[in-house]
Amino acid sequence: MEPCSPSSPPPPSASTIFFARIMLTISTVCGSCMMPMFKRLSAVSPYIRNAWRALLITICFIPFVVYEYRKDAARVRGMITWKTTATVFICQFFGTITSLLQIAALAFTFSSHVLLFSGLISIVLLMWKVLRRMPITRMEIAGIAVAILGSYILTQEGDVKGGYSKRSIVFGDFLSLLASITGAISLQMTAPLMQVFTEGMYASYANLICFLISILCLYVMGGKLTYDLDPVYGILGCFSGSNFLLCVGGLGVMTSYGVAWTFMISIKYLSPLLISLTYLVQPMLAQLISTAAGLEAFPGASTVVGGAVVLVGLFLVAREEELERARREEQEVKIDAGGELVEKLSS
pLDDT digits (tens, 9 = 90+) for 79-133: 888 888 888 889 888 888 888 888 788 778 877 677 667 666 767 777 777 777 7
Residue 199 pLDDT: 82
Chain centroid to Cα 76, Å, comes to: 25
**According to the model, what pLDDT value does residue 5 have?**
43
**Cα–Cα separations (whole angstroms), residue 84 to 78, 92, 96, 261, 265:** 10, 12, 18, 20, 19
Which residue ranges in the chain fall short of pLDDT 50? 1-8
pLDDT of residue 162: 54
The Cα-based distances of 179 to 162, 176, 182, 220, 252 in angstroms read: 26, 5, 5, 20, 22
**CA of 70: how far to CAs of 15, 97, 201, in Å?**
28, 34, 12
- Is the CB of residue 190 less than 8 Å from the CB of residue 202? no
Looking at residue 137, its pLDDT comes to 75
b (16+ CB within 10 A) / e for 47-60: bbbbbbbbbbbbeb
For residue 144, the model assigns a pLDDT of: 72
How many Cα neighbours within 13 Å face the side chain of 216? 11
Backbone angles phi, psi at 226, to 5 degrees: -120, 150
The set of residues, in sequence order, having a beta carbon less than 8 Å from that of 183 and lying 6+ positions away, is 94, 95, 98, 118, 121, 124, 276
**What pLDDT does residue 4 have?**
44
